[in-house]
Amino acid sequence: MDCVFCKIIQGELPCHKIYEDKRVISFLDINPINKGHVLILPKDHYLNLMDTPPDLLKDLIVAVQKLAPAISEGVGAKDFNLGVNNGPASGQIVAHLHFHLIPRFLTDNLYPWPGKTLADDEMKRIAENIKKLIV
């Protein structure tokens, strides 16, 4: 399979690895948003969050909780963003599920996305539509 992360996991491509266990690996993002930006991903190939078995998602989030304090201390940033780009419209480029852990500094000038204001009846309609579809 032509997956850059699978190649890293198999040792065919280099990376700056910070952690691995039986099912999870973490290495520095090659193009960091801030210093200490790491990717945390399953060693097995899954396309995205919806594809990934729940017990493996648990392992991933437990790894995030384990690694975050070391990353924070290592780069001197107490706070971080944790994110998943899920699908092309969200900006997912590498088709192998990965969490981005991005250390944040009060002075880094990275602002959150702008919020929209929707009319209350539209908000109500959206919530009702979604609620009906939860299985």
Q: How many CB atoms lie within 10 A of CB 130?
A: 9
User: Which one of the listed residues 16, 45, 98, 100 is annotated catalytic?
Assistant: 98
Residue 103: beta bridge partners? Answer: 80
Reply yes or no on whether 98 is catalytic: yes
> Number of C-alpha atoms within 13 angstroms, CB side, residue 123?
5
- When the beta carbons of 112 and 122 are compared against ligand AMP, the nearer one is 112
- When the beta carbons of 37 and 77 are compared against ligand AMP, the nearer one is 37
- Which residues would be at the binding site for ligand AMP (CB under 6 A)? 4, 13, 15, 29-31, 39, 85, 91-94
Q: How many CB atoms lie within 10 A of CB 102?
A: 21
- When the beta carbons of 29 and 108 are compared against ligand AMP, the nearer one is 29
Catalytic positions, written as ranges: 98
